[in-house]
Chain A
Amino acid sequence: MSSDIRAIPEAAAPARLEWRVAKVVDVRDETPRARTLVLDVPQWPGHRAGQHVDVRLVAEDGYQAQRSYSIASPPEDRTVALTVERLDDGEVSPYLVGELRRGDGLEIRGPIGGYFVWDVAVGGPLLLVAGGSGIVPLMAMLRRHALADASARAAVPVRLLYSARTPDDVIYHAELEQLADPPLVEVVFTFTRNAPPTWTGYRRRIDRAILESVSWPPSAAPHAYVCGPTVLVESVATLLVELGHAASRVRTERFGPTG
């Protein structure tokens, strides 16, 4: 028998994705509108940076509402952290951000996703572009990168471009400043609504000039991951392709109207 024919191990056989009741083991306020829920999920099979879970809420009358939330924690963590931004007219996020307490149960299924994922094996350079809460899956990638062994880390320079309304809206602000380690890991903010007078950085929506300045040239063939409100994601993806980046290297995840 040819040596390159190998049996697929039993454990690799994919199983049906079941709903499970996760337990909230911690909650952390990230900004006035965003909260991280740290979940202990029974039989969690592990996840990859960039993946998400589906969350299901069932009312007493049987009405169900279901949403997808990105995982913020790296694959190395035993718990699963979701960061949820409150949408004032939302059906699910006000409950998750405002009502859910430590010790509560939450029905989830996952991990989900095989396209908008990054791991060391994908390589770099890695260009991450976030709008608002679009930072969440990119944070899992940054954390994964930070935990990689030194040689793997050094082989993948990372640049994060993060558009937020104001500095107070920046999720993981302190951790991002700690992770910044130029020239290996660079973090660039742009504030679209308000910034302190002392702020010398960008103060506008992400445009061609910002992307040209922050990104590597197309010749460096960066892997780009763009996540946030749909309008931002489509604008950034279009600009990156216009700047000469291969469309197949620009991966996108749209969060909808408000991110």
Chain B
Amino acid sequence: MQSEEMRLDGNAAGGILRDVFTHEMTAALASCGGCGTVGPIGALLEYGQPMGIVLRCPTCDTPVLRIVRTPGLLRLDFSGIRLLTIPERL
């Protein structure tokens, strides 16, 4: 199957992001470290792996956020985000 058909979006990462953040995160705005595009986490492209996910910028495909869960460890790579803006109340 083509990876285009398999991909989801940042909406699907809302649950695992709540393992890290106390706030709802899919409406949070991330500016891409690659191209500077600002958009909601929910609108990023999600590529799932058995052990974790990669969220990519829909404009330039830069991996904005990587989350990997291994037994007893949750690893996050936020290096693709320049600025994260989180609404305190929805």
Q: Which residues of A contact B (CB under 8 A)?
A: 8, 12-17, 48, 52, 54, 66, 68, 109-110, 112-117, 229-231, 234, 251-257
Contacts and interface: CB of A to CB of B under 8 A. Distances in A.
Contacts of B28: 114
B18 A115 contact: no
Contact of A114 (B4, B15, B24): B24
A52 B13 CA distance: 11
Contacts of B5: 229-231, 256-257
17 contacts: A8-B89, A16-B18, A17-B15, A66-B15, A114-B42, A114-B90, A115-B27, A115-B41, A115-B43, A116-B11, A116-B26, A116-B42, A229-B5, A252-B43, A253-B11, A254-B12, A256-B6
Interface in B8-43: 8-12, 14-15, 18-19, 22-28, 40-43
Nearest to B48: A256
Contacts of A16: 18, 22
A230 B11 contact: no
Contacts of A110: 15
B1 interface: yes
A253 B9 contact: yes
B26 A112 contact: yes
Contact of A230 (B7, B19, B25, B27): B7
A14 B86 CA distance: 13
B45 to A, nearest CB: 8
- CB-CB nearest 6 A-B residue pairs: A115-B42, A114-B27, A112-B14, A17-B18, A54-B15, A114-B24
Contact of A113 (B1, B4, B14): B14
Contact of B24 (A8, A112, A251, A254): A112
B88 A8 contact: yes
B22 A113 contact: no
Contacts of A252: 9, 43
Nearest to B16: A54
B18 A112 contact: yes
A210 to B, nearest CB: 21
B25 to A, nearest CB: 8
Contacts of A256: 5-8
Contacts of A230: 4-8
Contacts of A113: 11, 14, 24, 26, 42
Contacts of A114: 14, 24-28, 42, 87, 90
Contacts of A13: 22
B10 A115 contact: yes
Contacts of B14: 52, 68, 112-114
Nearest to A229: B5
Contact of A14 (B4, B23, B26): B23
Given A230-B5, A231-B5, A68 B12 contact: yes
A48 B27 CA distance: 13
